[in-house]
Protein backbone atom coordinates (compact mmCIF):
# COMPACT_ATOMS: atom_id res chain seq x y z
CA UNK A 1 0.00 0.00 0.00
CA UNK A 2 1.34 3.45 -0.92
CA UNK A 3 1.77 6.42 1.41
CA UNK A 4 -1.09 8.54 2.73
CA UNK A 5 -0.93 11.94 1.07
CA UNK A 6 -2.58 13.86 3.85
CA UNK A 7 -1.89 15.58 7.17
CA UNK A 8 -3.21 13.39 9.98
CA UNK A 9 -4.00 14.21 13.60
CA UNK A 10 -4.65 11.71 16.38
CA UNK A 11 -6.36 12.69 19.64
CA UNK A 12 -5.70 10.53 22.71
CA UNK A 13 -6.35 10.92 26.42
CA UNK A 14 -2.74 9.98 27.21
CA UNK A 15 0.29 8.75 25.25
CA UNK A 16 1.69 5.53 26.76
CA UNK A 17 5.23 4.52 25.84
CA UNK A 18 4.00 1.23 24.36
CA UNK A 19 1.94 3.12 21.76
CA UNK A 20 4.73 5.34 20.37
CA UNK A 21 6.17 2.70 17.96
CA UNK A 22 2.75 2.46 16.31
CA UNK A 23 2.38 6.22 15.92
CA UNK A 24 5.92 6.52 14.55
CA UNK A 25 5.36 3.72 12.03
CA UNK A 26 2.08 5.28 10.87
CA UNK A 27 3.71 8.73 10.70
CA UNK A 28 6.41 7.38 8.39
CA UNK A 29 3.65 6.59 5.88
CA UNK A 30 1.92 9.99 6.05
CA UNK A 31 3.49 12.40 3.56
CA UNK A 32 1.77 15.37 5.20
CA UNK A 33 2.93 14.32 8.66
CA UNK A 34 1.16 13.05 11.77
CA UNK A 35 0.62 14.88 15.05
CA UNK A 36 -0.48 13.21 18.30
CA UNK A 37 -2.48 15.28 20.81
CA UNK A 38 -2.40 13.70 24.29
CA UNK A 39 -2.11 14.61 27.96
CA UNK A 40 -0.70 13.21 31.18
CA UNK A 41 -1.91 10.05 32.96
CA UNK A 42 -3.72 10.33 36.26
CA UNK A 43 -1.63 10.13 39.44
CA UNK A 44 -1.27 6.50 40.42
CA UNK A 45 -2.34 5.26 37.00
CA UNK A 46 0.98 3.37 36.60
CA UNK A 47 1.32 4.23 32.92
CA UNK A 48 4.77 4.99 31.55
CA UNK A 49 4.34 8.00 29.23
CA UNK A 50 6.17 8.14 25.91
CA UNK A 51 7.28 10.60 23.26
CA UNK A 52 7.22 9.73 19.55
CA UNK A 53 10.28 10.22 17.38
CA UNK A 54 8.80 10.44 13.87
CA UNK A 55 5.33 11.68 14.74
CA UNK A 56 4.90 15.18 16.18
CA UNK A 57 3.53 15.65 19.68
CA UNK A 58 1.27 18.34 21.17
CA UNK A 59 0.67 18.28 24.92
CA UNK A 60 -3.02 18.24 25.87
CA UNK A 61 -4.32 20.08 28.92
CA UNK A 62 -6.50 17.39 30.48
CA UNK A 63 -9.10 18.67 32.93
CA UNK A 64 -11.38 16.49 35.05
CA UNK A 65 -14.07 16.88 37.68
CA UNK A 66 -12.98 16.49 41.32
CA UNK A 67 -12.38 12.84 42.08
CA UNK A 68 -12.47 12.09 38.34
CA UNK A 69 -16.26 11.88 38.65
CA UNK A 70 -17.76 9.61 35.95
CA UNK A 71 -14.41 9.65 34.13
CA UNK A 72 -15.40 12.86 32.32
CA UNK A 73 -12.57 14.67 30.55
CA UNK A 74 -12.11 18.07 28.93
CA UNK A 75 -9.04 18.74 26.78
CA UNK A 76 -9.17 22.49 26.95
CA UNK A 77 -6.56 23.34 24.31
CA UNK A 78 -7.64 20.89 21.61
CA UNK A 79 -8.97 23.61 19.30
CA UNK A 80 -5.60 25.38 19.54
CA UNK A 81 -3.91 22.21 18.35
CA UNK A 82 -6.39 21.76 15.50
CA UNK A 83 -5.92 25.37 14.43
CA UNK A 84 -2.14 24.98 14.45
CA UNK A 85 -1.89 21.52 12.86
CA UNK A 86 -4.94 21.78 10.58
CA UNK A 87 -5.35 18.03 9.99
CA UNK A 88 -7.10 16.79 6.88
CA UNK A 89 -7.99 13.60 8.75
CA UNK A 90 -8.59 13.55 12.51
CA UNK A 91 -8.60 10.24 14.41
CA UNK A 92 -10.20 10.48 17.87
CA UNK A 93 -10.75 8.14 20.76
CA UNK A 94 -14.39 7.13 20.32
CA UNK A 95 -15.16 7.80 23.98
CA UNK A 96 -18.24 9.93 24.79
CA UNK A 97 -16.77 10.76 28.21
CA UNK A 98 -14.22 13.06 26.56
CA UNK A 99 -16.54 16.04 26.36
CA UNK A 100 -14.45 18.22 24.02
CA UNK A 101 -14.21 15.68 21.20
CA UNK A 102 -17.51 16.41 19.45
CA UNK A 103 -16.72 20.12 19.27
CA UNK A 104 -13.46 19.43 17.50
CA UNK A 105 -15.12 16.89 15.18
CA UNK A 106 -17.58 19.60 14.12
CA UNK A 107 -14.71 22.04 13.64
CA UNK A 108 -12.86 19.60 11.37
CA UNK A 109 -15.99 19.02 9.30
CA UNK A 110 -16.59 22.75 8.91
CA UNK A 111 -13.19 22.85 7.23
CA UNK A 112 -14.10 19.88 4.98
CA UNK A 113 -11.80 17.53 6.90
CA UNK A 114 -12.62 13.91 7.69
CA UNK A 115 -12.94 12.22 11.08
CA UNK A 116 -12.40 8.66 12.33
CA UNK A 117 -13.31 7.24 15.74
CA UNK A 118 -11.03 4.62 17.31
CA UNK A 119 -12.32 2.52 20.20
CA UNK A 120 -13.02 -0.74 21.96
CA UNK A 121 -16.53 -1.11 20.58
CA UNK A 122 -20.04 -0.53 21.91
CA UNK A 123 -20.95 -3.12 24.57
CA UNK A 124 -24.52 -3.14 25.79
CA UNK A 125 -25.37 -0.88 28.72
CA UNK A 126 -27.46 -2.07 31.65
CA UNK A 127 -29.47 -0.28 34.31
CA UNK A 128 -32.22 2.30 34.38
CA UNK A 129 -30.38 4.86 32.22
CA UNK A 130 -29.19 2.39 29.60
CA UNK A 131 -31.64 3.57 26.92
CA UNK A 132 -30.36 7.15 27.21
CA UNK A 133 -26.72 6.05 27.26
CA UNK A 134 -27.30 3.95 24.13
CA UNK A 135 -28.93 6.85 22.30
CA UNK A 136 -26.19 9.31 23.23
CA UNK A 137 -23.42 6.90 22.23
CA UNK A 138 -25.09 6.14 18.91
CA UNK A 139 -25.40 9.86 18.11
CA UNK A 140 -21.74 10.32 19.03
CA UNK A 141 -20.51 7.42 16.89
CA UNK A 142 -22.57 8.52 13.89
CA UNK A 143 -20.65 11.81 13.83
CA UNK A 144 -17.56 10.02 12.50
CA UNK A 145 -16.93 9.26 8.83
CA UNK A 146 -15.48 5.87 9.83
CA UNK A 147 -14.74 3.82 12.94
CA UNK A 148 -11.72 1.68 13.81
CA UNK A 149 -12.25 -1.10 16.36
CA UNK A 150 -9.53 -2.72 18.46
CA UNK A 151 -10.99 -6.16 17.78
CA UNK A 152 -13.47 -8.06 15.63
CA UNK A 153 -15.80 -8.14 18.64
CA UNK A 154 -15.69 -4.34 18.80
CA UNK A 155 -16.38 -4.08 15.05
CA UNK A 156 -19.45 -6.29 15.43
CA UNK A 157 -20.69 -4.09 18.29
CA UNK A 158 -20.35 -0.95 16.15
CA UNK A 159 -22.37 -2.62 13.42
CA UNK A 160 -25.03 -3.63 15.96
CA UNK A 161 -25.66 -0.01 16.96
CA UNK A 162 -26.27 1.02 13.37
CA UNK A 163 -22.89 2.00 11.91
CA UNK A 164 -22.76 0.97 8.21
CA UNK A 165 -20.35 -1.94 7.82
CA UNK A 166 -18.40 -0.25 5.03
CA UNK A 167 -17.43 2.45 7.53
CA UNK A 168 -16.07 0.00 10.13
CA UNK A 169 -12.43 -1.15 10.14
CA UNK A 170 -10.68 -3.58 12.49
CA UNK A 171 -7.13 -2.89 13.69
CA UNK A 172 -6.27 -5.62 16.17
CA UNK A 173 -4.37 -4.13 19.08
CA UNK A 174 -0.64 -4.70 18.55
CA UNK A 175 2.38 -3.39 20.45
CA UNK A 176 5.22 -5.16 18.64
CA UNK A 177 6.34 -5.52 15.02
CA UNK A 178 6.33 -8.75 13.06
CA UNK A 179 9.08 -10.89 14.66
CA UNK A 180 12.34 -11.04 12.74
CA UNK A 181 13.67 -14.00 14.75
CA UNK A 182 12.68 -17.64 14.15
CA UNK A 183 10.52 -19.55 16.61
CA UNK A 184 12.72 -20.93 19.43
CA UNK A 185 13.37 -24.67 19.41
CA UNK A 186 12.56 -25.64 22.99
CA UNK A 187 14.21 -28.58 24.69
CA UNK A 188 12.07 -31.68 25.30
CA UNK A 189 10.38 -32.04 28.69
CA UNK A 190 8.79 -35.19 30.05
CA UNK A 191 7.02 -33.80 33.11
CA UNK A 192 5.27 -30.55 34.02
CA UNK A 193 7.75 -30.09 36.85
CA UNK A 194 10.44 -29.37 34.26
CA UNK A 195 8.44 -26.51 32.72
CA UNK A 196 8.46 -22.79 33.55
CA UNK A 197 5.54 -20.39 33.58
CA UNK A 198 6.31 -16.75 32.81
CA UNK A 199 4.59 -13.55 33.92
CA UNK A 200 5.80 -10.19 32.59
CA UNK A 201 4.22 -6.92 33.70
CA UNK A 202 4.01 -4.23 36.32
CA UNK A 203 3.44 -5.75 39.75
CA UNK A 204 0.26 -4.12 40.98
CA UNK A 205 -2.84 -5.54 42.63
CA UNK A 206 -5.01 -5.78 39.49
CA UNK A 207 -2.44 -8.06 37.77
CA UNK A 208 -3.36 -10.79 40.32
CA UNK A 209 0.02 -12.47 40.56
CA UNK A 210 -1.10 -13.44 44.08
CA UNK A 211 -3.83 -15.52 42.46
CA UNK A 212 -1.24 -17.19 40.23
CA UNK A 213 0.83 -18.18 43.27
CA UNK A 214 -2.27 -19.70 44.86
CA UNK A 215 -3.21 -21.58 41.69
CA UNK A 216 0.29 -23.07 41.32
CA UNK A 217 0.26 -24.20 44.94
CA UNK A 218 -3.03 -26.05 44.35
CA UNK A 219 -1.60 -28.18 41.53
CA UNK A 220 -0.53 -31.74 42.33
CA UNK A 221 3.13 -31.91 43.41
CA UNK A 222 4.15 -33.72 40.21
CA UNK A 223 2.61 -30.97 38.05
CA UNK A 224 4.00 -27.92 39.83
CA UNK A 225 6.15 -25.91 37.36
CA UNK A 226 8.73 -23.25 37.97
CA UNK A 227 7.30 -19.74 37.98
CA UNK A 228 9.24 -16.75 36.70
CA UNK A 229 7.89 -13.31 37.59
CA UNK A 230 9.40 -10.42 35.63
CA UNK A 231 8.46 -6.88 36.60
CA UNK A 232 8.59 -4.24 39.28
CA UNK A 233 5.94 -2.31 41.16
CA UNK A 234 4.29 -1.74 44.52
CA UNK A 235 3.37 -5.41 44.98
CA UNK A 236 6.90 -6.81 44.51
CA UNK A 237 7.86 -7.22 48.17
CA UNK A 238 4.40 -8.46 49.34
CA UNK A 239 4.45 -11.03 46.51
CA UNK A 240 7.93 -12.22 47.46
CA UNK A 241 6.76 -12.74 51.03
CA UNK A 242 3.66 -14.58 49.87
CA UNK A 243 5.70 -16.80 47.55
CA UNK A 244 7.96 -17.92 50.40
CA UNK A 245 4.90 -19.23 52.24
CA UNK A 246 2.75 -20.32 49.31
CA UNK A 247 4.90 -21.27 46.32
CA UNK A 248 8.69 -21.32 46.88
CA UNK A 249 9.30 -22.33 43.25
CA UNK A 250 8.48 -18.75 42.23
CA UNK A 251 11.47 -16.59 41.25
CA UNK A 252 11.37 -12.79 40.97
CA UNK A 253 13.69 -11.06 38.51
CA UNK A 254 12.58 -7.44 38.72
CA UNK A 255 12.17 -5.41 35.55
CA UNK A 256 14.08 -6.80 32.56
CA UNK A 257 14.58 -5.37 29.08
CA UNK A 258 16.31 -6.23 25.85
CA UNK A 259 18.38 -9.40 25.67
CA UNK A 260 17.70 -10.37 29.30
CA UNK A 261 13.96 -10.27 28.75
CA UNK A 262 14.25 -12.10 25.43
CA UNK A 263 16.13 -14.89 27.20
CA UNK A 264 13.24 -15.37 29.61
CA UNK A 265 10.73 -15.53 26.75
CA UNK A 266 12.95 -18.03 24.93
CA UNK A 267 13.44 -20.29 27.95
CA UNK A 268 9.86 -20.27 29.28
CA UNK A 269 7.20 -22.79 28.29
CA UNK A 270 3.90 -20.99 29.00
CA UNK A 271 3.04 -17.31 29.35
CA UNK A 272 0.32 -16.21 31.74
CA UNK A 273 -1.48 -12.99 32.69
CA UNK A 274 -3.95 -13.81 35.48
CA UNK A 275 -5.36 -10.29 35.99
CA UNK A 276 -6.62 -7.38 33.93
CA UNK A 277 -4.34 -5.43 31.65
CA UNK A 278 -0.98 -6.49 30.32
CA UNK A 279 0.72 -5.80 27.02
CA UNK A 280 3.32 -8.54 26.80
CA UNK A 281 1.02 -11.18 25.27
CA UNK A 282 1.96 -10.43 21.68
CA UNK A 283 5.65 -10.33 22.58
CA UNK A 284 5.34 -13.71 24.30
CA UNK A 285 3.62 -15.15 21.25
CA UNK A 286 6.48 -13.93 19.05
CA UNK A 287 8.66 -16.36 21.02
CA UNK A 288 6.29 -19.25 20.25
CA UNK A 289 4.71 -19.37 23.71
CA UNK A 290 1.19 -20.61 24.37
CA UNK A 291 -0.68 -18.13 26.54
CA UNK A 292 -3.25 -17.93 29.31
CA UNK A 293 -4.84 -14.50 29.68
CA UNK A 294 -7.62 -13.05 31.79
CA UNK A 295 -9.98 -11.06 29.63
CA UNK A 296 -12.37 -8.25 30.49
CA UNK A 297 -12.85 -5.98 27.45
CA UNK A 298 -12.90 -8.42 24.50
CA UNK A 299 -9.66 -7.19 22.91
CA UNK A 300 -7.83 -10.50 23.47
CA UNK A 301 -10.28 -12.60 21.46
CA UNK A 302 -8.48 -12.11 18.14
CA UNK A 303 -5.04 -12.77 19.60
CA UNK A 304 -5.74 -15.70 21.94
CA UNK A 305 -7.74 -18.58 20.51
CA UNK A 306 -8.33 -22.25 21.29
CA UNK A 307 -5.45 -23.10 18.97
CA UNK A 308 -2.82 -21.13 20.91
CA UNK A 309 -4.10 -20.57 24.43
CA UNK A 310 -6.87 -19.93 26.91
CA UNK A 311 -8.94 -16.89 27.88
CA UNK A 312 -10.25 -16.93 31.43
CA UNK A 313 -12.29 -14.53 33.59
CA UNK A 314 -10.07 -12.29 35.79
CA UNK A 315 -9.91 -12.99 39.49
CA UNK A 316 -11.29 -16.55 39.34
CA UNK A 317 -8.99 -18.95 41.21
CA UNK A 318 -10.93 -22.07 40.26
CA UNK A 319 -10.82 -21.27 36.53
CA UNK A 320 -7.14 -20.38 36.67
CA UNK A 321 -6.24 -23.60 38.50
CA UNK A 322 -8.33 -25.73 36.14
CA UNK A 323 -6.80 -24.07 33.08
CA UNK A 324 -3.26 -24.50 34.38
CA UNK A 325 -3.95 -28.18 34.99
CA UNK A 326 -5.27 -28.60 31.46
CA UNK A 327 -2.33 -26.74 29.93
CA UNK A 328 0.38 -28.63 31.80
CA UNK A 329 -1.14 -32.06 31.24
CA UNK A 330 -0.08 -32.33 27.57
CA UNK A 331 3.39 -30.94 26.84
CA UNK A 332 3.27 -31.94 23.17
CA UNK A 333 0.06 -29.97 22.69
CA UNK A 334 1.60 -27.05 24.56
CA UNK A 335 4.47 -26.91 22.05
CA UNK A 336 2.06 -27.06 19.10
CA UNK A 337 0.01 -24.21 20.58
CA UNK A 338 3.17 -22.16 20.92
CA UNK A 339 3.94 -22.56 17.23
CA UNK A 340 0.42 -21.37 16.44
CA UNK A 341 1.05 -18.28 18.60
CA UNK A 342 4.12 -17.56 16.49
CA UNK A 343 2.19 -17.96 13.26
CA UNK A 344 -0.52 -15.54 14.43
CA UNK A 345 1.89 -12.71 15.20
CA UNK A 346 3.88 -13.28 12.00
CA UNK A 347 0.91 -13.49 9.66
CA UNK A 348 -2.04 -11.75 11.31
CA UNK A 349 -1.51 -9.44 14.29
CA UNK A 350 1.47 -7.10 14.48
CA UNK A 351 2.27 -3.40 14.22
CA UNK A 352 2.58 -3.56 10.44
CA UNK A 353 -0.92 -5.04 10.11
CA UNK A 354 -2.33 -2.46 12.53
CA UNK A 355 -0.81 0.39 10.52
CA UNK A 356 -2.22 -1.10 7.31
CA UNK A 357 -5.73 -1.13 8.82
CA UNK A 358 -5.42 2.54 9.82
CA UNK A 359 -4.22 3.42 6.33
CA UNK A 360 -7.23 1.60 4.87
CA UNK A 361 -9.57 3.68 7.06
CA UNK A 362 -7.79 6.93 6.19
CA UNK A 363 -7.84 6.10 2.49
CA UNK A 364 -11.56 5.35 2.72
CA UNK A 365 -12.54 8.65 4.33
CA UNK A 366 -10.33 10.61 1.92
CA UNK A 367 -11.88 8.86 -1.04
CA UNK A 368 -15.35 9.69 0.30
CA UNK A 369 -14.40 13.38 0.35
CA UNK A 370 -12.56 13.33 -2.94
CA UNK A 371 -9.20 13.63 -1.20
CA UNK A 372 -5.99 11.73 -1.88
CA UNK A 373 -4.91 8.52 -0.22
CA UNK A 374 -2.48 5.65 -0.59
Q: What is the pLDDT of residues 152-209, one digit of tens each?
A: 999 999 999 999 999 999 999 898 899 999 999 898 888 889 999 999 998 989 899 9
Residue 258 falls in which region: left (phi positive, over 0), alpha (psi -120 to 50) or beta: left
Going from the N-terminus, what domains does the chain have, and what CATH number goes with each?
8-176+350-369 (3.40.50.2000), 192-347 (3.40.50.2000)
Q: What percent of the chain has pLDDT over 70?
A: 97
Q: Which pLDDT score is estimated for 373?
A: 47
Q: Which pLDDT score is estimated for 330?
A: 93
Confidence of residue 2 (pLDDT cuts 50, 70, 90): confident
Average pLDDT, the chain: 92
More confident: 373 or 93? 93
Q: Which pLDDT score is estimated for 123?
A: 87
Q: Is the pLDDT of residue 301 over 90?
A: no
288-310: burial string, b at 16+ Cβ within 10 Å, e else: bbbbbbbbebbbbebbbbeebbb
Q: Report the C-alpha gap between 52 and 254 in whole angstroms.
A: 26
Q: Is the pLDDT of residue 372 over 60?
A: no
Q: Which pLDDT score is estimated for 277?
A: 73
Q: What is the pLDDT of residues 140-155, one digit of tens each?
A: 899 999 999 999 999 9
Contact by Cβ (8 Å): 372, 12: no
Q: Is the pLDDT of residue 1 over 80?
A: no
Q: Is the pLDDT of residue 229 over 60?
A: yes
- Rg, the chain, Cα only: 22
Q: The pTM is what?
A: 0.89
Q: Is the pLDDT of residue 299 over 80?
A: no
Q: Which pLDDT score is estimated for 374?
A: 47
Q: Nearest to residue 339, comparing CAs of 309, 310, 308?
A: 308
Q: Nearest to residue 148, comparing CAs of 163, 136, 133, 138?
A: 163
Handedness of CA 21, 24, 13, 158 (dihedral sign): negative
Q: Report the C-alpha gap between 153 and 304 in whole angstroms.
A: 13
More confident: 373 or 35? 35
Burial of 180 (0-12, 13-18, 19+ CB in 10 A): exposed
Q: Which pLDDT score is estimated for 134?
A: 83
Q: Report the C-alpha gap between 319 and 312 in whole angstroms.
A: 7
Q: Is the pLDDT of residue 124 over 50?
A: yes
Amino acid sequence: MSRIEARVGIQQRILPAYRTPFFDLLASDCSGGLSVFAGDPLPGESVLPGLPETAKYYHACNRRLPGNLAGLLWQTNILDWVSEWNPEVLICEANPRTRTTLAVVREIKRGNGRTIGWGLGAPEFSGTLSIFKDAFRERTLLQYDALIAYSQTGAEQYARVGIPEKRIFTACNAVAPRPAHPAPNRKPASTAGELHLLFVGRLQERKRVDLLLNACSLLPDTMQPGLWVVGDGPELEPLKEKALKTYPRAEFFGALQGKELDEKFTSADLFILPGTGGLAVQQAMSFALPVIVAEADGTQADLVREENGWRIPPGNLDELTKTLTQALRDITQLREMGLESYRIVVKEINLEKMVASFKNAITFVLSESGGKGG
